[in-house]
């Protein structure tokens, strides 16, 4: 984890005036959480680059940024996982390279110097990069293909401000920004899935985030955003692959992904472990590769979200160093207020409050890197509703044998764990003329009764990608690119930077992703199991309590475990009432009554948390 920020434009010289220097120093102070080990800047009359460093690889000072030579300058937040292989390739092209460091920063710099943006097409890792051509005065911003590292942009007066966090842009520009109430309303009405849908991605007006897999160059012929990583839309399913071919292909690529993302560091790593397949896939693979593995889990109070027995059984199988962190319900509102003030955004879900608690303990133990299983559900079909789409595709394509076997197992073993009634109807999509409306009606359940009528202009997000006629594949890709993974990565990044940690997601790997697109859809689900290919890929070195488990939990909790009802009522009444220009206060109070009785639905529990987050956001982050 590092931090980057800066400015490109005709007024760069102003940052070394008295007023400009004050802005620069304020920005640097804010960047120390992301990079407590070193902070420095590069400056000429057209460009300012700032970098704060968290050392996890090559602890020498030679690895400090910004990197520059007579022709180029760069700041880079992230990790180039396959830097060893790219360094070898660059050496073959130019045997005269003289390397000053043993880390990845210099490799990324020389890759861009030699090959430009085309160079990152073969890179594995995560990055947000600002690259400056000193000779031609051209400036390029680049973001990794999955959007693991943030890159915010603000354009003003012919100049470009950028940063890993919005607060850096505020400090450098000296500007205040209006809250985007349309975006806030969509968050309240439709939840986290709407946050990065249809191009929306910020709770402030005039600031936007560069799209994943994209770059933009200023100072040249034009400055339009271009993609360098959209070739995956041309990858078709390979019907020549057998089921075992798919298992073997995933297993080999998973080993490579874990090895390059966790096996090339100079500091200790923590793996977040739930009872789910994805986190266990990474942990068991790392152990299989002979790596030292320390794991952390959070344990809640309620039986509905109790993963401890399964995790204990898995840890007993792994024989690794494991730490259970007990859910601490104290100071929930105080903590959440501080988190939201730092994030400058409402928190997506209560799961990420638990994630914050977990990282607090990880940081207290002195670790610097934290690894999670983000992406497995979206690459390999792991959500309960994916069965509904699969049943639809199976009926359409006459997969009679596969349909019968999967339905029997699903009906006997999985259905009892599914709470949402819609997800228990295996024929939900079949025979439906408008599958799109049915899909959106359960993804975004109506919350209109909570809104002031004058503000009740809610635009339900639509499917952003329509590249596949296969509804299951289309759903998985939308969740990866827009609806699910981006909010997760947004929270992962900010929670980690809060504690000066670096977050990594090994499953978000180019080779693994592209191979997953080739897997025939009929293989994605098998029997009553989602992620069938991934389960069987890790089965030789993963306990049965993980690979044979139907129930899906993850880090989760009920609001009642964190917030006493009396404190909720006080919170509804106290503080800034701006939230009630959007919402009906009486309806929120009714939700408090339902929480007191213990009969909140899952959707109501989520909405109540969103209300709390939005209210705190308006109180702490206005401008």
What is the pLDDT at residue 216? 95
What is the pLDDT at residue 433? 47
Measure CA 567 to chain center: 31
Which residues does residue 79 pair with via DSSP β-bridges, in sequence order?
Answer: 126
Q: Are residues 262 and 292 in the same domain?
A: yes
Closest to 327 measured CA to CA, from 348, 355, 349, 346:
355
Can you give the residue range of the structural domain that contains 573? Answer: 560-620
Q: Render pLDDT for 356-414 as a digit per residue (tens, 0 to 9).
A: 999 999 999 999 999 999 999 999 999 999 999 999 999 889 998 888 888 898 888 88
**555 belongs to a structural domain:** no
Q: Which residue, of 228, 246, 270, is where some domain finishes? A: 228
Q: Are residues 275 and 350 in the same domain?
A: yes
Q: Render pLDDT for 500-518 as a digit per residue (tens, 0 to 9).
A: 999 999 999 999 999 999 9
Mean pLDDT of the chain: 91
Rounded average pLDDT over 207-211: 94
CATH number for the domain spanning 183: value is: 3.60.20.10
DSSP state of 42: E
**219 belongs to a structural domain:** yes
Give the three-state DSSP class for 75. strand
Whether residue 575 is predicted with pLDDT greater than 80 in this model: the reply is: no
Q: How many CB atoms lie within 10 A of CB 343?
A: 27
Confidence of residue 286 (pLDDT cuts 50, 70, 90): very high
CA 242/CA 537 separation, integer angstroms: 14
Q: Which residue, of 488, 522, 547, is where some domain finishes? A: 547
What is the pLDDT at residue 467? 64
CA 425/CA 206 separation, integer angstroms: 43
Rounded average pLDDT over 20-48: 95
Whether residue 233 is predicted with pLDDT greater than 90 in this model: the reply is: no
Q: What is the 3-state secondary structure (H, E, C) of 355-424?
A: HHHHHHHHHHCCCCEEECCCCHHHHHCCCHHHHHHHHHHHHHHCCHHHHHHHHHHHHHHHHHHCCCHHHH
Q: Are residues 126 and 40 in the same domain?
A: yes
Closest to 541 measured CA to CA, from 318, 267, 370:
318
**553 belongs to a structural domain:** no
Rounded average pLDDT over 286-310: 88
Confidence of residue 306 (pLDDT cuts 50, 70, 90): confident
**526 belongs to a structural domain:** yes
DSSP state of 583: B
Whether residue 296 is predicted with pLDDT greater than 60 in this model: the reply is: yes
Q: Are residues 541 and 564 in the same domain?
A: no
Q: Render pLDDT for 134-152 as a digit per residue (tens, 0 to 9).
A: 999 999 999 999 999 999 9
| Axis-axis angle for helices 351-364, 332-343 (nearest 10) | 90
What is the pLDDT at residue 334? 97
Rounded average pLDDT over 575-597: 89
State phi, psi for 50 to the nearest 5 degrees: -125, 140
Closest to 139 measured CA to CA, from 155, 122, 125, 123:
155
CA 611/CA 617 separation, integer angstroms: 10
Measure CA 262 to chain center: 18
Q: Which residue, of 443, 468, 493, is where some domain finishes? A: 468
Closest to 154 measured CA to CA, from 137, 135, 176:
176
Whether residue 591 is predicted with pLDDT greater than 60 in this model: the reply is: yes
Q: Render pLDDT for 419-446 as a digit per residue (tens, 0 to 9).
A: 888 888 877 777 554 566 556 666 666 6
User: Would you say 197 and 464 are in contact if contact means Cβ atoms under 8 Å apart?
Assistant: yes
**155 belongs to a structural domain:** yes
Q: Are residues 529 and 574 in the same domain?
A: no
From residue 440, give the alpha-carbon distance in Å to each of 425, 437, 443, 477, 507.
16, 5, 5, 15, 27
Q: Are residues 511 and 542 in the same domain?
A: yes
CA 167/CA 149 separation, integer angstroms: 16
Closest to 531 measured CA to CA, from 254, 287, 239:
254
Q: Are residues 304 and 392 in the same domain?
A: no
DSSP state of 204: B
What is the pLDDT at residue 88? 96
Q: Are residues 372 and 507 in the same domain?
A: yes
Closest to 420 measured CA to CA, from 443, 404, 436:
443
Q: Are residues 80 and 110 in the same domain?
A: yes
Q: Are residues 44 and 111 in the same domain?
A: yes
Closest to 390 measured CA to CA, from 472, 478, 470:
472
- The percent of residues in the chain predicted with pLDDT above 70, rounded, is 93
Structural domains counted in the chain = 4
Whether residue 52 is predicted with pLDDT greater than 70 in this model: the reply is: yes
Give the three-state DSSP class for 309. helix
Q: Are residues 116 and 255 in the same domain?
A: no
Rounded average pLDDT over 488-501: 98
Q: Are residues 90 and 196 in the same domain?
A: yes
What is the pLDDT at residue 435? 62
Whether the bond between 66 and the residue before it is cis, its omega within 30 degrees of 0, is yes
Give the three-state DSSP class for 139. strand
From residue 254, give the alpha-carbon distance in Å to each of 112, 209, 434, 602.
27, 29, 38, 34
Q: Which residues of 275-301 are buried (b: 16+ CB within 10 A; e: fewer)?
A: bbbbbbbbbbbbbbeebebbbbbbebe
* Torsion (CA) 378, 439, 276, 2 in degrees, nearest 10: 50
**602 belongs to a structural domain:** yes
CA angle in degrees (0–180, nearest 5) for 616-618-623:
130
What is the pLDDT at residue 116? 94
DSSP state of 539: G
CATH number for the domain spanning 299: value is: 3.40.50.620
What is the pLDDT at residue 221? 64
CA 183/CA 458 separation, integer angstroms: 10
Q: Is 207 or 467 the better-scoring residue by pLDDT?
A: 207
User: Would you say 188 and 583 are in contact if contact means Cβ atoms under 8 Å apart?
Assistant: yes
**521 belongs to a structural domain:** yes
Rounded average pLDDT over 465-472: 75
Closest to 244 measured CA to CA, from 526, 564, 541:
526
Can you give the pTM of this predicted structure? 0.94
**554 belongs to a structural domain:** no
Q: Render pLDDT for 82-118 as a digit per residue (tens, 0 to 9).
A: 999 999 999 999 888 889 999 999 999 999 999 999 9
């Amino acid at each position: 984890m590092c931090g980057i920020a800066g400015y490109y434009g005709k007024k760069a010289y102003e940052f070394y005036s008295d007023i400009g220097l004050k802005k620069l120093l304020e920005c640097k102070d804010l960047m120390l959480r992301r990079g407590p080990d070193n902070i420095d800047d590069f400056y000429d009359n057209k460009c300012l680059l700032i970098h704060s460093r968290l050392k996890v690889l090559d602890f020498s000072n030679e690895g400090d940024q910004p990197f520059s030579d007579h022709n180029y300058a760069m700041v880079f937040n992230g990790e180039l996982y396959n830097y060893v292989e790219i360094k070898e390739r660059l050496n073959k092209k130019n045997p005269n390279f003289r390397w000053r460091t043993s880390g990845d920063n210099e490799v990324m710099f020389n890759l861009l110097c030699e090959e430009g943006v085309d160079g990152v097409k073969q890179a594995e890792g995560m990055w947000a990069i600002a690259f400056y051509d000193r000779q031609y005065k051209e400036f390029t911003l680049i973001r990794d293909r999955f959007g693991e590292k943030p890159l915010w942009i603000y354009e003003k007066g012919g100049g470009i401000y950028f940063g890993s966090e919005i607060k850096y842009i505020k400090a450098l520009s000296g500007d205040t920004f209006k809250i985007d109430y349309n975006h806030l309303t969509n968050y309240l009405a439709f939840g986290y899935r709407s946050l990065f849908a249809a191009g929306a991605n910020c709770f402030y007006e005039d600031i936007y985030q560069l799209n994943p897999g994209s770059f933009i160059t200023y100072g040249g012929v034009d400055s339009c955003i271009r993609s360098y990583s959209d070739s995956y839309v041309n990858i078709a399913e390979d019907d020549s692959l057998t089921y075992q071919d798919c298992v073997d292909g995933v297993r080999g690529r998973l080993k490579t992904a874990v090895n390059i993302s966790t096996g090339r560091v100079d500091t200790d790593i923590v793996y977040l472990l739930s009872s789910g397949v994805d986190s266990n896939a990474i942990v068991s693979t790392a152990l299989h590769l002979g790596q030292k593995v320390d794991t952390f889990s959070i344990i809640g109070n309620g039986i509905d979200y109790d993963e401890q027995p399964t995790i204990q059984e898995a840890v007993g199988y792994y024989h690794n160093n494991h730490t259970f962190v007990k859910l601490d319900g104290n100071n929930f509102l105080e903590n959440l207020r501080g988190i939201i003030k730092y994030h400058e955004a409402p928190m997506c879900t209560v799961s990420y409050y638990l994630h914050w608690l977990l990282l607090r303990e990880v940081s207290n133990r002195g670790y610097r890197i934290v690894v999670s299983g983000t992406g497995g559900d979206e690459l390999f079909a792991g959500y309960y509703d994916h069965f509904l789409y699969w049943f639809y595709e199976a009926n359409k394509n006459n997969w009679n044998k596969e349909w019968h076997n999967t339905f029997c197992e699903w009906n006997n073993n999985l259905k009892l764990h599914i709470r949402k009634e819609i997800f228990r109807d295996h024929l939900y999509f079949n025979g439906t003329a408008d599958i799109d409306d049915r899909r959106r009606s359960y993804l975004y359940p109506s919350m209109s009764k909570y809104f002031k009528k004058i503000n009740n202009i809610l635009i339900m997000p639509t499917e952003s990608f329509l590249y596949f006629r296969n509804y299951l594949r289309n759903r998985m890709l939308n969740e990866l690119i827009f609806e699910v993974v981006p909010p997760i990565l947004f929270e992962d990044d900010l929670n980690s930077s809060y504690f000066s940690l670096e977050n990594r997601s090994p499953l978000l790997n180019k080779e693994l992703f592209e191979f997953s697109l080739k897997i025939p859809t009929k293989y994605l689900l098998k029997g009553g199991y989602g992620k069938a290919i991934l389960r069987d890929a890790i089965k030789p070195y993963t306990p049965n309590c993980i690979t044979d488990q139907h129930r899906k939990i993850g880090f989760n909790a009920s609001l009642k475990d964190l917030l006493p009802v009396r404190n909720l009522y006080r919170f509804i009444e106290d503080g800034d009432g701006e939230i009630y220009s959007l919402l009906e206060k009486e309806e929120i109070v009714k939700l408090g009554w339902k929480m007191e009785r213990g009969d909140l639905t899952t959707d109501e529990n989520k909405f109540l948390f969103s209300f709390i987050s939005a209210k705190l956001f308006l109180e702490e982050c206005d401008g």
